[in-house]
Structure 1
Amino acid sequence: MPIMKWMDEYSVQVAELDQQHQKLIELINLLHDEMRQGKGRESLGRILDQLIEYTRVHFTTEEDWMARAGYAGLAAHREEHRALTRQVEELQDQHRAGSRTLSLEVMVFLKDWLVNHIQKTDQKYSDVLKEYQRR
């Protein structure tokens, strides 16, 4: 059972970014499923690595779109990306060191992190990027 599902209200109206957001949801769901099945540390660590790497790719793509569109909030958005990346990297480091298991609490954090970022921060650039695509 997935911990989260894509919903239309997550859309930022840029197909590439929406597809990447959907991929991030898939990775969080895969991590959740593996955790619920009691998979080993290596399996969970591998999926967490994929999630972090794909997040970096997505953030780079998103920032490129914002830069090309001339989005005024790019600097603040970029800083939020850096802060979010650091938080998830801390979870990864703790998991690798054996000091943190991937619990439901961690899964809820990842889900909330993604949903809040998409619905609050990413929606701020949606109109600017839609206008950029029309030009």
Structure 2
Amino acid sequence: MEFFEWDEGFSTKIQRFDDDHKKLLTLFNNVYHRVFECTSLEEERELTQHTLVELLDYVKYHFSAEEELMIQLDYPQYLEHKKEHGSYIAEVNNFLDQHKQGTAALSFPTFMFLKEWITKHILVRDKEYGQFFNDKGIR
């Protein structure tokens, strides 16, 4: 069983962003499984570093794609949405830096924070743009 599973309730009704969200969940689950399969902090650090960077890179790609369409369609909540994206990236970057320096390890509370943020963001903020984009003919 996965730590973070896709549910149709997450759908924004924008196929490309739903596909992105599914990939993000897969990457997130990959990090989760690697961390909890490790037997030492050193092993955890080595095994998860690449996956964390891959997850962060994909998050940045996805946020950029959302924001680009928001600008094109003059989405009224663009600045607020972009600010939330920036906040999440800063949190993940901060954690990644701490992880690289060996001052933090991935823990269950960290995963819960990441999962809850992503869940709330998709279910509330992304669903808002989904309706707006649908009204503009984007599916």
TM-score of Structure 1 vs Structure 2, range by shorter chain: over 0.9
Q: Which residue of 2 aligns with 1:63?
A: 67
TM-score (norm 1): 0.94
Q: Deviations over 1:68-127 (max 9, x none)?
A: 222100011011110110001011001001010011111111111111110111111111
Identity of aligned residues (%): 28
TM-score, structure 2 as length reference: 0.92
How many residues get paired? 135
Q: Where does residue 112 of structure 1 map in the other structure?
A: 116
Counterparts of 1:1-135 in structure 2, within 5 Å, are: 1-38=1-38, 39-133=43-137
Q: Which runs of 5+ in 1 are unaligned?
A: none
Displacement over 6 Å in runs of 4+: none
Q: Which runs of 5+ in 2 are unaligned?
A: none
Report if aligned partners of 1:69, 1:128 keep a CA contact under 8 Å in 2.
Answer: no
Q: Which whole-Å CA distance do the structure 2 matches of 1:78 and 1:8 have between them?
A: 24
